[in-house]
């Protein structure tokens, strides 16, 4: 299966290159290369009150810097540099930034034409969407589990054409967990991932693969558009596993404008929209153990009223298999306001039940996006 | 006329900016022609990058030295645009501007545009003939402390929104005088909501042609590239601000803060009664496309990929070697323009005007022909286009006229071909863009 997938990616890429070569008479009018450079900084204070443990608060900084270097319409390199709190660290033992990790989350080349988009290098897999679409301060707390990030490999996204009912794409990929020096981090050094660390997808070659079908901008009613995704990945057995892990995901979302259908209303900022999102994810042979299952079910509603955003989310997570009875849940609410300066201020609250323990979360966050360059010309004058 | 495109330090109010100008004028020279004239513009490119000129709204040939937006004029080159203007060309307010793909936003914002008047609009509306005419080019420029254009445009940057290159100009009028203001939105991305303290606007024309149903509004809304002809009646003596109100283009769109645009100074009446127009002018079009036989229907979908920063038409970015739509000369077509994004888009097609039939399913009464239309968020606009003028045979563009979107891909190419011409002169190798096949049919118009 993996061999077939690699051949398919290669064939798609070759078809794309051939198409590009056939149309490579384009006149270069001096607009390349171009640079994009954007940083998003998020400052968040969270206060956790477990039912049976002392309460505590923590201030976290998260920053993401995205750099995009485009050589022409077809070739580009992307880099995503991330600073975030280290995982599983004991609170209070570290100084400022010492408990944070700075690492290369993505670094890949991209080649695309009108039919196919090929990535190669380190990037996150196109599997499921809740881990980046679920809104609110805590909406992604559980679903972040199944983001398949920091993988090395290649994928190809093929446009299946544009019949008048939306856009339909299929992505196929082959990958492995990154165990190069790019898996290390600065400030708090999390160390290099090794094969001996185990875990699904942590293999000695491209032994994991995925296939995802995306349908977007489906006009399902007047003014209403929907998107859905069906996805499957097989994560190769790690050094500590008994079997490959298989994950399945299905998600659906819709945007429903409630007011602001006229140009005047939009321009005045009197725009209201309801966004609905639902996703289910199932693991077979979870964590590489035969017979173990893991399940997630997420629902989210977002109401946009001009610069105001109101979010409600709920996620259920449960395990299945011999002796496994864990059932976790999360409900959260958040209110955000977007300022013209690309600053978003949000407050949120959440109630979590994890391994039988309840906890209550409240927090406030300030996010700032700084776009230094948006497809700037590297050489020459602005005009 | 020779237009020399070059960078220049120009004064805008108290500020000095590094602009890209035609002949050193940030506001741009106003060109005036008559139907039957030959417009000859020699473009000399002194810029460090390619540029060209599109004659926006003109019903003329897109080929050769005509309104050929496909041809880049490279640095140091000279190009002659020689455009015979048909005797039956609609009079009105047009404009000319750079159409250098991927660089148009910055070049236009820097100043590379100007107003273009085809004389005769007032002949169609004779009651306007005695009125004072003011042609106003509205532009904006976001400058840093050195007067250079910001690399990234933001709502909180210093935005210099100008009229004919002037910051907050004074406009004089007499009490009870009516003036014809002919405004063109020559910004790259900005929508205007104009208000005039103590006054209203009477709209008599849009996109160069008279409207069928003049209306009086307190707020004048027009988007990038759109033109509007309005009557303004001088109120009580005093000073009144013309204000560009704050606008937002949607949840993922842009925000433009409010700004004072001009000061209207109303003087007491002089000796003789000033020219005025009390009633709305009438204009009757000889025909429209409401009852036309439709030869084909097409779907145009605007969408974007926020992560990649790309903008699509039917999920394709522009490729100047790909013909997206081929239309036989003589077709009258109905196009559905769908906006799949969480921000406004504004559809424009070169060489032809069209009739707006419906917006979000609501039928629109015929109100004149236009060359641009704003498409509501997640909405649809149906338009009808007559590809019947042999002059327009050739390849030209259709696109979103928010130039950031156009530069980042939201543009397509159409070829109108003469089915009676020899096959050797036809480019039969170019198929339609996927998803936009013509669905031939004979259906009566509604």
Provide the residue count of chain B: 446
Which residues in chain B are closer than 8 Å to A269, comparing Cβ atoms? 246, 248
User: A383 by DSSP, 3-state: which?
Assistant: coil
C-alpha distances out from residue A72 to A30, A376, B100, B238, B338, Å: 10, 13, 16, 56, 29
The answer to whether residue A368 sits within a structural domain is yes
- The residues facing A66 across adjacent strands are A38, A80
Task: State the DSSP string of B143-171.
Answer: B-TTSPBPSS--TTS-EEEEETTBSS-EE
What element of type H or E holds A18? helix A2-22
Average pLDDT over chain A, rounded to an integer: 89
- The residues facing B248 across adjacent strands are B255
Which residues in chain A are closer than 8 Å to B407, comparing Cβ atoms? 375
CATH number at residue A296: 2.40.160.10
Q: What is the pLDDT of residue B441?
A: 41
Task: Please tell me which of the candidates B48, B50, B314 has its beta carbon nearest to residue A162.
Answer: B314
- The residues facing B183 across adjacent strands are B136, B228
Q: Chain A: nearest CA to B67, how far in angstroms?
A: 19
Q: Average pLDDT for residues B3-25, to the nearest whole number?
A: 95
- What is the dotted CATH code of the domain comprising B127-267? 2.60.40.420
Q: What is the pLDDT of residue B294?
A: 98
C-alpha distances out from residue A10 to A71, A156, A161, A172, Å: 22, 9, 20, 11
Which residues in chain B are closer than 8 Å to A255, comparing Cβ atoms? 342, 378
Domain ranges of chain B: 2-121, 127-267, 296-425
Q: What is the pLDDT of residue B386?
A: 97
Does any CB of chain A come closer than 8 Å to the CB of residue B258?
Answer: no
Residue of A nearest to B110 (CA): A383
The answer to whether residue A30 sits within a structural domain is no
- State how many domains chain A has: 1
CB atoms within 10 A of CB B365: 8
> Tens of pLDDT along B409-439?
999 999 999 999 876 555 433 344 433 445 4
- The phi and psi torsions of A113 (rounded to 5 degrees) equal -130, -155
Q: Average pLDDT for residues A3-31, to the nearest whole number?
A: 50
> Tens of pLDDT along A231-244?
999 999 999 999 99
Q: Chain B: nearest CA to A94, how far in angstroms?
A: 34
The CATH number of domain B296-425, selected from 2.60.40.420, 3.50.50.60, 2.60.40.3950, 1.20.990.10? 2.60.40.420
Q: Residue A240: give the domain boundaries.
A: 2-19+35-377
Here the tokens at position A186 are 């600065």
User: Using CB atoms within 10 A of its CB, is residue A232 exposed (0-12), middle (13-18) or buried (19+)?
Assistant: middle
Q: Quick check: A162 and B154 CB within 8 A?
A: no
Q: Quick check: B319 and A264 CB within 8 A?
A: no
Does any CB of chain A come closer than 8 Å to the CB of residue B110?
Answer: yes
Q: Chain B: nearest CA to A247, how far in angstroms?
A: 25
- Do residues B63 and B98 make contact, with C-beta atoms less than 8 angstroms apart? no
**A26 pLDDT higher than 70:** no
CA distance A267 to B254: 10
Confidence of residue A3 (pLDDT cuts 50, 70, 90): low
- Do residues A330 and A351 make contact, with C-beta atoms less than 8 angstroms apart? yes
Confidence of residue B280 (pLDDT cuts 50, 70, 90): confident
CA distance A251 to A274: 17
C-alpha distances out from residue A178 to A154, A183, A204, A212, A246, Å: 12, 6, 10, 21, 19
The answer to whether residue A29 sits within a structural domain is no
Q: What is the pLDDT of residue A24?
A: 37
**A2 pLDDT higher than 70:** no
User: A220 by DSSP, 3-state: which?
Assistant: strand
- Which B residues, 115 through 174, put their C-beta within 8 Å of a C-beta on chain A? 148-149, 151-152, 154-156
Q: Quick check: B315 and A162 CB within 8 A?
A: yes
Q: Chain A: nearest CA to B339, how far in angstroms?
A: 9
Q: What is the pLDDT of residue B320?
A: 87
CA distance B348 to B388: 18
CA distance B191 to A86: 45
The answer to whether residue A346 sits within a structural domain is yes
> Tens of pLDDT along A67-121?
999 998 889 999 999 999 887 777 666 676 788 899 999 999 999 887 899 999 9
| Torsion sign, CA atoms A147, A149, A153, A154 | positive
Strands laid side by side in the B325-328 sheet: B325-328, B411-417, B394-400, B345-349, B372-375
Hey, what CATH topology would domain B2-121 get? Immunoglobulin-like (2.60.40)
Does any CB of chain A come closer than 8 Å to the CB of residue B429?
Answer: no
Contacting residues for A226 by C-beta, under 8 A, at least 6 apart: A218, A220, A252, A253, A254, A255
């Amino acid at each position: 299966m993996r061999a077939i997938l690699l051949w398919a990616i290669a064939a798609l890429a070759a078809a794309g290159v051939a198409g590009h070569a056939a149309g490579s008479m384009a006149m270069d009018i001096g607009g390349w290369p171009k640079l994009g450079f954007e940083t998003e900084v998020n400052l968040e204070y969270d206060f956790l009150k477990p039912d049976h443990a002392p309460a505590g608060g923590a201030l976290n900084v998260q920053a993401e810097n995205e750099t995009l270097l485009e050589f022409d319409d077809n070739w580009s390199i992307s880099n995503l540099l991330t600073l975030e709190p280290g995982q599983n660290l004991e609170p209070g033992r570290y100084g400022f930034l010492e408990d944070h990790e700075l690492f290369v989350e993505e670094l890949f080349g991209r080649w695309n034409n009108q039919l196919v988009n090929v990535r190669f290098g380190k990037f996150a897999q196109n599997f499921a969407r809740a881990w980046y679409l679920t809104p609110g301060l805590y909406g992604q707390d559980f679903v972040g589990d199944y983001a398949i990030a920091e993988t090395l490999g290649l994928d190809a996204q093929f446009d299946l054409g544009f019949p008048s009912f939306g856009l339909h794409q299929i992505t196929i990929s082959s990958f492995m967990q990154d165990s190069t020096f790019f898996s290390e981090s600065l400030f708090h050094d999390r160390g290099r991932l090794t094969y001996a660390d185990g875990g699904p997808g942590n293999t000695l070659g491209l032994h994991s693969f995925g296939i995802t079908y995306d349908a977007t901008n489906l006009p399902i009613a007047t003014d209403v558009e929907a998107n859905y995704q069906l996805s499957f990945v097989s994560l190769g057995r790690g050094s500590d596993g008994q079997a490959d892990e298989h994950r399945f995901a299905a998600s659906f979302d819709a945007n429903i404008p409630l007011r602001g259908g006229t140009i005047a209303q939009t321009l005045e900022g009197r725009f209201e929209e309801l966004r609905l999102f639902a996703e289910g994810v199932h693991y077979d042979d979870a964590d590489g153990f035969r017979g173990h299952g893991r399940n997630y079910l997420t629902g989210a509603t977002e109401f946009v009223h001009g610069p105001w955003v109101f979010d409600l989310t709920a996620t259920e997570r449960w395990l299945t298999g011999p002796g496994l009875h864990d059932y976790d849940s999360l409900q959260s609410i958040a209110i955000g306001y977007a300022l013209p300066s690309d600053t978003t201020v949000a407050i949120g609250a959440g109630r979590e039940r994890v391994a039988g323990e309840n906890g209550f979360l409240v927090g406030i966050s300030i996010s700032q996006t700084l776009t230094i360059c948006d497809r700037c010309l590297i050489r020459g004058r602005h005009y | 006329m020779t237009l020399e495109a070059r960078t220049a330090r120009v004064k805008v109010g108290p500020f000095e900016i590094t602009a890209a100008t035609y002949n050193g004028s940030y506001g741009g020279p106003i060109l005036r022609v008559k139907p039957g004239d030959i417009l000859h513009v020699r473009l000399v490119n002194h810029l460090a990058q390619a540029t060209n000129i599109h004659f926006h709204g003109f019903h003329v040939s897109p080929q050769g030295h005509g309104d050929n937006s496909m041809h880049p004029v490279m640095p140091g080159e000279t190009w002659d645009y020689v455009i015979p203007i048909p005797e039956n060309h609609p009079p009105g307010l047009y404009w000319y501007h750079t159409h250098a793909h991927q660089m148009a936003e910055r070049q236009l914002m820097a100043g590379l545009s100007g107003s273009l008047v085809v004389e005769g609009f007032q002949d169609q509306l004779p009651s306007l003939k005695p009125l004072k005419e003011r042609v106003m080019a509205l532009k904006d420029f976001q400058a840093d402390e050195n007067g250079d254009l910001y690399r990234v445009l933001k709502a909180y940057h210093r935005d210099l929104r100008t009229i004919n290159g002037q910051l907050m100009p004074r406009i004089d009028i007499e009490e009870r005088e009516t003036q014809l203001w002919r405004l063109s939105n020559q910004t790259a991305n900005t929508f205007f909501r104009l208000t005039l303290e103590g006054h209203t606007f009477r709209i008599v024309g849009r996109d160069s042609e008279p409207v069928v149903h003049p209306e009086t509004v307190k707020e004048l809304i027009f988007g990038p590239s759109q033109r509007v002809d309005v009557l303004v009646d001088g109120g009580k003596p005093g000073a009144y601000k013309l204000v560009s109100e704050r606008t937002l283009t949607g949840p993922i769109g842009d925000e433009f803060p409010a700004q004072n645009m001009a000061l209207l100074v109303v003087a007491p009446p002089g000796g003789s009664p000033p020219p005025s127009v009390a009633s709305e002018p009438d204009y009757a079009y000889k025909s429209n496309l409401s009852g036309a036989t439709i030869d084909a229907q097409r779907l145009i979908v605007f969408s974007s990929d926020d992560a990649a920063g790309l903008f699509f038409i039917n999920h394709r970015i522009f490729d100047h070697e790909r013909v997206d739509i081929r239309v036989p000369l003589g077709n009258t077509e109905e196009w559905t323009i769908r906006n799949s994004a969480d921000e406004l888009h504004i559809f424009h097609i070169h060489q032809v005007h069209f009739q707006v039939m419906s917006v979000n399913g609501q039928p629109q009464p015929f109100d004149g022909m236009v060359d641009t239309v704003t498409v509501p968020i997640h909405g649809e606009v149906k338009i009808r286009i007559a590809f019947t003028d042999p002059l327009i045979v050739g390849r030209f563009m259709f696109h979103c006229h928010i130039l950031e979107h156009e530069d980042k891909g939201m543009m397509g190419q159409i070829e109108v071909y003469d089915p009676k011409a020899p096959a050797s002169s036809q480019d039969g190798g170019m198929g339609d863009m996927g998803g936009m096949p013509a669905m031939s049919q004979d259906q009566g118009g509604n």
